Chain A
Amino acid sequence: MPKLTRREFLQASGASLFLAGLPLPGFTKDEPPGTISVIMLEGGMDGLTAVPPFGDPNLFKMRKSLTPENYLKLNSFFGLHPSFKYFSGLLAKNNASVVHATNFPYTKRSHFEGQNLMQGGGLSPFAETTGWLGRALDLAKTPGRSMSLDMPLLLRGAHENDNFFPASIRNSGSLTTNLINMISNAHAEEGSSVFNKVSKKSTQKDSVVPRDPASLAKYAGKAMAKKNGPLSSVIKVDQFDTHASQGADEYGRHGERLAIVDDIIAGYKEGLGDAWDRSIILTLTEFGRTVKENGTWGTDHGWGSAALLAGGAITNSRVISKWPGLAERDLFENRDLVSTIDYRSVCAACIENALGLDHDLIADKVFFTPKLPRVYDFIFS
């Protein structure tokens, strides 16, 4: 397997940033209480590597080469991967939590159905053309402009959402608003509205922003910290799909990915500044990975995973879990960690906290599941 240096690795990491939900000036009287940011982990993050339940005697039986020896002890049962250096500090400061054995209620192990569902938040894959975060921002009446290169499904739904990913094209000069407006006018609605966003952005002077994940997060944090700044942002990190040579420690393939997540959280904290106190950041992944190590030093597609939550909105760090067990009989179809906490409930709690929406409304209009359990108090009390 390739061993990239950390620098090559960051360059190749393909993380991308999306900012969303910028309130139009003068539009909202009641400003939403906080900001919500999502780190999408594409390919299926291994919750058992990220937050190893070393207290479960089956962990080391089921996977020999995948658990780091130098994990940090969170309590008598759960450990934390050594790549999470910054995140561990936040846990110590009561500004972060972990939810374990959790995911969306999707068990068919397809990346593409799973990714669609975790972003769309619908009742079945490909059922929705908007995303749960986009719908939530729309409900919170926070139209706006937002700021990666493509627009993720997660954010679609609020009309004004936009994206941001600094361009660097030789000889492309500065953009003239007038030209872009003319082009926009020639397009029908869908093309026109997109060129309009380009036009608005061309009037803003963004300083040069590096494209590594931590810098993007810092940029997003700074933008969200501003008055009338965006209320939400999304950063995507790919290549969690480690079927072979997954590795255990911070130098392994999975460990290097986790370190990027750690860098992103640190970047947010720095960029947000004082706005950290009213912020929540959560991770999202399409599935966890098989409990048992496969034949090629990796893991295949599973179900339950772990999620990281960080932000000043959390005032009491904990590991939130209803542990299902790792013995073969405890696993979903004898192979996957069971998800005992519906992750949609966690997303709903974060929306409730950041956007000030009522849980029942979120359950009904964002996730189309009126009876979705409310887990707010487990996270934010």
Chain B
Amino acid sequence: MNESFRISQKLGLMFLPNSPIPKDIKQWAIQQLHSKSPALGVKRIRSYHKPEVTEWPKSLQPNLQKRDEMFWAYKENKEKFRRNMPGFQTEADKSRNRQENLMEDLDALKFAHRNVYGEDQLRLRFSSFWANHFRTANIFDNGNHIGHAIDEAILGNINSDFSNMLYKVTTHPSMLIYLDNTYSAGPNSNEAIWAKRNGRQAGLNDNLGRELLELHTVSPSANYTEADINGAAKILAGWGAEPGRISGDKLISLSERNRKIKEIGGTLNSWDYFKTNYAEPGNKTVMGRTFGPGKGALRQLTDFLADHEHTINHITFKLAQHFVSDNPSQTDLDHISRIWRESNGNLDQIHTAVIERAIASKDAKFQWPMNWLFQVVRLSGANGFLGWEEEQNDDYNENIMRTRKIFEELGQGFWLPGQPNGYSSDKAEWLSGEMFERRIRFATALYNGGFPTEGVDNIMNRIGANKVTRELVGSVTGGRRKFVALMCSPEIMGLENA
């Protein structure tokens, strides 16, 4: 592969068929960190005509409060179905409830569209890296929030400091719901005392406190103790608004719901929602550091963890293994971690250091299933995903599956259920027959039903395909076989050649 495409494979999503190839690839890559990021997509797919790429309509990108209210309405309607109320009885009523109030399928499609049509390919790759590092997988209750977290907490902070992103992700409803923090109450909180007196139950749950230390920051190498996890969980107690219904057996109006939410947390903003009654009074200790009572302690904790030497080393390795090499060298790691320290965790500078090492390293870098699919779609100009109108209306398309189904079949996606540790960047985790078979099948499906605009020879010339790839494509006959062979070549998958 020529240098431009080699870099756009490792760090980006491959240049679109009509996009100009920059002369200075390194300068381009660094500038990409600040490129504009509109949510580009298509309304409908038409087989033989290239669909027009435009920005996603605002109406399909509700704000956070609206998303909270939609999920509440969805659950409130479910209760109406349970009671068999008029207008809440038929299958059509059910599917309308889903279409009107659940965002996950549209959000997953918007993510795919961005990655397939976006000109901001490096920003999107870094955004996916962090979305995976801070994975909030779909447990249904946070289905309306995952997309918002990726767009606003992660992509919205991609030019910020790591400490800022860490705080914004930790306090985002997608995370607070996913790791069960919304009900957690300090053992000596007003809520816990009240519960004890009334024969109810309330208390701490350490899920988010544990993963904040283990996965998001210092990692087990820091040798923290169970008491540290408990300290972090106590600082986190009180954070998060309850998703869904909040009125027990009663059906209530939206304004009543909003009044109650505001009463409990002082605001309708679920991204800055702290329930004083659930907070643990007094000081807390985490890894030798003491934190005072109150809402402000969490920011102090995340700032402390963000700067920690174990955090820097932990995440440096993950960045290097994702972008630079399957086996990053000590030089790669030293460079990135040094820049991290010197810049006090400035993400632009950290990402620039990653770009520099990815360019300097000639190692192949195995591409995740989802990034491979986006890259193949971009290289070939094929249609890989539905338009937003088709997804929203659940229209059948004989060539293209629903977005959720595509990610399920790929075996990777941010809207699938899963564990908070995210997907591995180590290629050893992906070397499976079924995973490889999926690549052959997706390449076949894109050729058969995606109407690629670019022929294999064009693509090979444009990327400067290597000898192995050309021989492989030359050794099979027929347009479909040549297409599949190219897309499953070691070069396009990011593996070594024979």
Contact = CB atoms under 8 A, between A and B. Distances in A.
Interface string B442-475: 1011001100000000000000000011011001
A173 B427 CA distance: 27
A208 to B, nearest CB: 15
A172 to B, nearest CB: 4
- Of A188, A241, A243, most buried by chain B (CB within 10 Å of CB) is A243
Interface stretch (B109-117, B184-192, B312-320, B331-339): B184-192
- Of B417, B431, B434, B489, most buried by chain A (CB within 10 Å of CB) is B434
- Of A111, A169, A183, A190, most buried by chain B (CB within 10 Å of CB) is A183
Given A175-B441, A176-B481, A183-B440, A150 B140 contact: no
B380 to A, nearest CB: 14
A164 B434 contact: yes
A298 B214 CA distance: 21
Contacts of A70: none
Interface string A157-182: 00000111101111111011011101
Interface residues of A, number: 65
B428 interface: yes
Contact of B433 (A110, A171, A194): A194
A290 to B, nearest CB: 9
B441 A188 contact: no
B448 A296 contact: no
Interface stretch (B41-49, B156-164, B197-205, B344-352): B197-205
B279 interface: no
A294 interface: yes
B218 interface: no
Interface stretch (B126-134, B301-309, B490-498): B490-498
A298 B496 CA distance: 47
A186 B468 contact: yes
A186 B400 CA distance: 30
B205 A294 contact: yes
B356 interface: no
A211 to B, nearest CB: 10
B488 interface: yes
B417 A167 contact: no
B445 A171 contact: yes
Contacts of A2: 139-141
Interface string A36-66: 0000001100000000000000000000110
B203 A295 contact: yes
A277 interface: no
Contacts of A238: 417-419
Nearest to B472: A186
Nearest to B185: A295
A322 interface: no
Nearest to A192: B498
Nearest to B433: A197
Given A169-B441, A172-B444, A173-B444, A110 B428 contact: no
Contact of A149 (B205, B432, B493): B432
A239 B417 contact: yes
Contact of A243 (B141, B202, B207, B215): B207
A163 B411 CA distance: 13
A152 to B, nearest CB: 9
A12 B400 CA distance: 22
A179 B476 contact: yes
Contacts of A75: none
B24 interface: no
A256 interface: no
Contacts of B429: 150
Given A12-B417, A185-B498, A243-B180, A191 B141 contact: no
Interface in B188-232: 192, 201-207, 210, 214-215, 220, 226
B291 interface: no
Nearest to A1: B141
Given A176-B481, A188-B498, A150 B435 contact: yes
B210 A180 contact: no
Nearest to B199: A64
A195 B430 contact: no
Contacts of A109: 210, 226
A345 to B, nearest CB: 26
B437 A175 contact: yes
B485 interface: yes
B444 A165 contact: no
A130 to B, nearest CB: 11
A172 B401 CA distance: 11
Contacts of B185: 295-296
A189 B310 CA distance: 35
A149 B434 contact: yes
A129 interface: yes
B496 A191 contact: yes
A187 B490 contact: yes
Contacts of A169: 401, 409, 438, 441-442, 445
A183 B444 contact: no
B8 interface: no
Nearest to A335: B226
A7 B175 CA distance: 27
A186 B471 CA distance: 8
A294 B490 CA distance: 50
Interface string B394-421: 0000111100000001010000111101
A175 B440 contact: yes
Given A179-B484, A300-B206, A150 B430 contact: yes
A188 B497 contact: yes
Contact of A294 (B204, B214, B498): B204
Contacts of A163: 432-434
Interface in B353-398: 398
Contact of A65 (B201, B437, B438, B485): B201
Interface in A127-173: 129, 148-151, 162-165, 167-173
B205 A298 contact: yes
A167 B203 CA distance: 44
A209 interface: no
A187 B497 contact: yes
Interface of B: 139-141, 179-180, 183-185, 187, 192, 201-207, 210, 214-215, 220, 226, 398-401, 409, 411, 416-419, 421, 427-438, 440-442, 444-445, 448-449, 468-469, 471-472, 475-476, 481, 484-485, 488-490, 493, 495-498
18 contacts: A110-B220, A150-B434, A151-B432, A170-B449, A172-B444, A179-B476, A186-B472, A186-B485, A188-B495, A191-B495, A194-B433, A194-B436, A241-B207, A243-B207, A295-B183, A295-B202, A295-B205, A296-B185
Given A171-B445, A297-B183, 15 more contacts: A12-B417, A14-B416, A42-B419, A151-B435, A175-B437, A187-B497, A188-B498, A198-B440, A238-B417, A243-B180, A294-B203, A295-B183, A295-B184, A295-B201, A296-B203
Which 3 A-B pairs give the minimum distances between C-beta atoms? A295-B203, A172-B441, A197-B433
